[in-house]
A and B are shown apart, each in its own frame.
Chain A
Amino acid sequence: AQSVTQLGSHVSVSEGALVLLRCNYSSSVPPYLFWYVQYPNQGLQLLLKYTSAATLVKGINGFEAEFKKSETSFHLTKPSAHMSDAAEYFCAVSEDFNKFYFGSGTKLNVKP
């Protein structure tokens, strides 16, 4: 069975600081992994995805994530937070395109 665990429902960082959002997954086969961002009153927007190519994946808005099979992790990072990064972030895992399993989300707060 597939599942996703996002550690920390709320993360707060100062503007300019490192952003680290944690995601661990369980999957019986090499999965596809995704990070989505949701701004208030909007739908989910794809940030980046891992599809078994390079383990370090670069996405939009300066975000990147590293697939670590040994740790079953796919943490999202950004070197320097911007106020506009404040949003909710969802990690998702999929073994079958028609079945995406989403984590419970992490709300990122960026302090000036």
Chain B
Amino acid sequence: DAGVIQSPRHEVTEMGQEVTLRCKPISGHNSLFWYRQTMMRGLELLIYFNNNVPIDDSGMPEDRFSAKMPNASFSTLKIQPSEPRDSAVYFCASGTADGYTQYFGPGTRLTVL
């Protein structure tokens, strides 16, 4: 299995621009998670999906952030408009409740200038 795939690996954009991060979970996993990692706040859960349905988005920092999962093999995290304080590494993870393990992708390093 290829593991969790994220794209792009690096994104540099200017303040005010729209940013879209992409994730392909491991085949057969029915839960998908988006995390953000910063030096100041560590690893934070933003939102998670079960069977493509958003269950808890209480970690999404504000309305500028949105996430979708149109099917079992694809999810996006969008920031519009982006701000410098959004600069972080964004991780996608997937897993199954039976296995009780979350498997992480390599992350997308976002820099907003």
* Residues of A participating in the B interface, judged by any CB pair closer than 8 Å: 32, 34, 36, 41-46, 49, 51, 90, 94, 97-100, 102-105
Measured CB to CB, the closest approach of chain A to B69, in angstroms, equals 14
Q: Is the CB of B91 within 8 A of A44?
A: yes
Given contacts A43-B105, A43-B107, A97 and B91 within 8 Å (CB-CB)? no
The total of chain B residues at the interface (CB under 8 A) is 23
Complex Cα–Cα for A41 and B91 (A) = 11
Residues of A within 8 A of B100 (CB): 32, 49, 51, 94, 97
Residues of B within 8 A of A32 (CB): 100
Given contacts A42-B106, A44-B91, A98 and B31 within 8 Å (CB-CB)? yes
Contact partner, B55, options A41, A98, A105, Cβ 8 Å: A98
Q: Is the CB of B4 within 8 A of A43?
A: yes
Measured CB to CB, the closest approach of chain A to B113, in angstroms, equals 20
B56 at the interface (CB under 8 A from A): yes
List CB contacts (< 8 Å) of B39-56 with chain A.
42-43, 45, 48, 50, 55-56
Q: Which residue of chain B is the closest to A104 with respect to CB atoms? A: B42
Interchain Cβ contacts under 8 Å between A and B, 27 examples: A34-B101, A41-B107, A41-B109, A42-B106, A43-B93, A43-B104, A43-B105, A43-B106, A43-B107, A44-B93, A45-B104, A46-B103, A49-B101, A51-B100, A90-B43, A94-B100, A97-B95, A97-B97, A98-B31, A98-B33, A98-B50, A98-B56, A98-B97, A100-B45, A102-B42, A102-B43, A104-B42
